[in-house]
Amino acid sequence: MKTGLVFHELYLWHHTGNHADYIPYGYPVEPLNHSESPDAKRRIKNLLEVSGLYEKLFKISPRKATKDEILYFHTENHFEKIKSLNNSITVDAGITAPTGIGTFDIALLATGGVLEATDKILEGKVNNAYALVRPPGHHAMPNRAMGFCIFGNAAIAGKHALKNKDLKKIAFVDWDVHHGNGTQAAFYDDPRALTISIHQDRNFPTNSGLISENGEGKGEGYNLNIPLPPGSGVGAYEEAFDRVVIPALYAYEPELIIVPSGFDGGAGDPIGRQMLTSEGFKSLTTKIMKAANDMCEGRILMTHEGGYSAATVPFFAHAVMETLANENMGIEDPFQNIIGNLGQQELQPHQDDLIKQVEKLLKKIK
């Protein structure tokens, strides 16, 4: 089994500037770092190197996506706007999406990296791949940047697979703590993509990601949202996977599974309120891998999205990549025991009720 890794130093050079978390600075807000800084991502790459896992991964070199490829999902207006901002610093190029010098070029390199990973998987060069790219993509909408995201990396990879690689059906399992609204929008009326997002109930975007958003037209039934209550732990996530995500995948039988992978569902994230652990992320990865092995020769593409605790995120990401690669580097997550023993890690009744509501939608998937 081979696992691919997409990475480029320039991904860390996308500069989100001074903010306080995601709020622009300026009196009375003292300048601080932006939530979406390179720190967590740099530390993932560093942990992969010091554990030795980096050496075992198949390196996939990114390229810049072309304009035509960006237009698989975005409007020309959005492409030209981000291009025009390439030499300027903006506080906000959309909704909470700052850009720095060179962001346009780096965003093209992020999308292109994800496209290269898609090709390597579909050509059989690797079984699965993790695209450690930046800026992230799952909130970007056709006509605007949004939520730290510039271009919809995962959505564009899906469009590419359907358009150019002759796939008939693909599935997305977005486990970022925020709703994968961009990916949902990209395929909302398209039955060729099953889009699933498991996230914290109405965190970001505001009032987005409700159970009632179930697809429309020919895509009716093929968008599933699982808005878990804040405070959900490993038990709630595992139940939601066992009872909704995995049965949905088996009912649909995709030829490729794309996972917009945010680690902001981990305990301690500054802008998420869930309680996942390394062991939890490992367990969710194993469940998706089993489904992928049964249905689509193990083809899984993970695209990096959020995850803002620079201390814990590298351990979550390392655990996921070890699982994808079927390796054990002997790295113990020093946070595992502390956050794994938090109260209410097991399924709670109000979380069970929510999962029951989504289970009712499974019968619409054919």
With the C-alpha atoms ordered 339, 343, 347, 350, is the resulting torsion angle positive or negative?
negative
Measuring CA to CA, which residue among 81, 94, 90, 103 is closest to residue 12?
A: 103
Give whichever of 172 and 252 is closer to Zn ion, judged by the CB atom: 172
Decide whether 4 or 265 has the Cβ nearer to Zn ion.
265
Q: Which is nearer to Zn ion, 176 or 255 (CB)?
A: 176
Nearer to Zn ion, 122 or 173 (CB): 173
Nearer to Zn ion, 219 or 268 (CB): 268
> Of 145-184, which residues contact Zn ion (CB under 5 A)?
176, 178
d(CA 106, CA 134): 8
74 binds Zn ion (CB under 5 A): no
Q: Is 69 in the site for Zn ion (CB under 5 A)?
A: no
Q: Does 215 bind Zn ion (CB under 5 A)?
A: no
Query: String of b and e for 3-38 (b: at least 16 CB within 10 Å)?
Result: bbbbbbeebbbbbbbbbeebeeeeeeeeeeebbbbb
Q: Does 136 bind Zn ion (CB under 5 A)?
A: no
Contact 112, 63 (CB under 8 A): yes
Q: State in angstroms the smallest separation of the CB of 132 from Zn ion.
A: 15
CB 183 within 8 A of CB 159: no
As a whole number of angstroms, the distance between CA 272 and CA 199 comes to: 9
Contact 14, 139 (CB under 8 A): no
Per CB under 5 A, the segment of 8-16, 25-33, 262-270, 337-345 that binds Zn ion is 262-270
Q: Which residue of 190, 213, 255, 264 would you call a contact of Zn ion, by CB under 5 A? A: 264
Nearer to Zn ion, 41 or 160 (CB): 41
C-alpha distances in angstroms, 124 versus 1, 62, 85, 117, 155? 11, 17, 38, 11, 21
The beta strand positions in 252-343, using DSSP E, are: 257-261, 300-304
Candidates 78, 139, 160, 304; catalytic one: 139
List the one residue from 4, 62, 209, 262 that touches Zn ion (CB under 5 A): 262
Site mask for Zn ion (CB under 5 A), range 317-356, x = bound? ----------------------------------------
The answer to whether residue 139 is catalytic is yes
The CB-of-3 to Zn ion minimum distance in angstroms stands at 23
Yes or no: say if 146 and 205 are a contact pair by the CB < 8 Å rule: yes
State which of residues 209, 306, 314, 340 lies at the interface with Zn ion (CB under 5 A). 306
Q: How far is the CB of 176 from Zn ion (least distance, A)?
A: 4
Q: Which residue is nearest to Zn ion (CB)?
A: 306
Rg of the chain over Cα atoms, rounded to whole angstroms, equals: 19
Q: Are 341 and 234 in contact (CB under 8 A)?
A: no
Of 86-94, 259-267, 315-323, 358-366, which part binds Zn ion (CB under 5 A)? Answer: 259-267
Catalytic sites, residue numbers: 139
- Which positions touch Zn ion (CB under 5 A)? 176, 178, 262, 264, 306
